[in-house]
Amino acid sequence: MKIAVLGGTGEIGEGFALHWAEKHQIRIGSRKSEKAEVTSERFNETLANYGCKGEIKGFDNKTAAEGADVIILTIPYEHVSGVIDVVRPVLSDQIIVSPVVPMTRGEYFEYNTPAHGSAAQEIQAMLPEGMNVVAAFHTVASRRLCSLDPAFQCDVMICGDERRSKDVIIDLTHDIECLRPLDVGPLALASTIESLTPLLLNIAMLNHLKDPSIKVL
């Protein structure tokens, strides 16, 4: 599959790129193509150091999104609408994956419920008719994921309204050995999994934990 990771120059983007590069065509997107190109070169060096095959390429966000099968929005909530505006001319039938979390940090991290109910539902409302959003990967510890640590095991809660789109993301999650996908229902429930991110951050802060994730037993 052709997978575009928009805003993919950060740790969570790196984790996805490294794990999927052997089986899929990975495009790292950024506001400036130069940054994505430099980052993709670094990711490719990491692949080579681990003895992994595959090639990761860097583009500006619009170019990365064009012709992709799946687009993952690894960007802060406050930048989502701007990125959607940039890539809208090339959107057609791509599956949009949202790990986006609307939250603020004061004394503690707090989830800020958008008017549409969740960031995923808000993104769905921004897209051309017929496109589908799948909410996923909110509870994955990015530094553990990009380390390719074989001991790391984490569950991924996945919401979506369209069965085929959700199944595609479930299959992609299975491609990452350390992750187990769990179907938790329609997109209307996305706020329940988005709110787990500030919960995990507060747990980490208050209990001096590093990179906590969720495993359902």
Per-residue tokens: 161: 């309204």
Helix (H) or strand (E) holding 72: strand 70-73
Mean pLDDT of 152-180: 95
Tally the residues of the chain: 217
CA 182 to chain centre: 16
User: Which pLDDT score, from 0 to 100, does residue 143 have?
Assistant: 83
- CA neighbor of 28 nearest in space, from 72, 63, 59, 68: 59
- DSSP bridge pairs for 153: none
pLDDT at 5: 97
Of the pLDDT bands very low, low, confident and very high (cuts 50, 70, 90), residue 52 is confident
pLDDT band at 51 (very low <50, low <70, confident <90, very high): confident
| 2-207 CATH choice from 3.30.470.20, 3.40.630.10, 3.10.20.340, 3.40.50.720 | 3.40.50.720
Q: Which segment of 39-53, 172-186, 194-208 scores lowest on mean pLDDT? A: 39-53
pTM: 0.94
Lowest mean pLDDT among 29-43, 72-86, 105-119, 135-149: 135-149
Q: Where are the domains of the chain?
A: 2-207
The per-residue pLDDT of the chain, averaged, comes to 94
Residue 150 has pLDDT above 80, yes or no: no
What are residue 33's phi and psi, to 5 degrees? Answer: -60, -35
CA distance 125 to 42: 35
Res. 48: pLDDT tops 80: yes
pLDDT in tens, 3-27: 999 999 888 899 999 999 999 999 9
- Confidence at residue 97, expressed as pLDDT on a 0 to 100 scale: 98
Query: Among candidates 19, 90, 78, 26, which has minimal Cα distance to 55?
Result: 26
What's the pLDDT band for 198 if we cut at 50, 70, 90? very high
pLDDT tens string 70-116 = 999 999 999 999 999 999 999 999 999 999 999 999 999 999 999 99
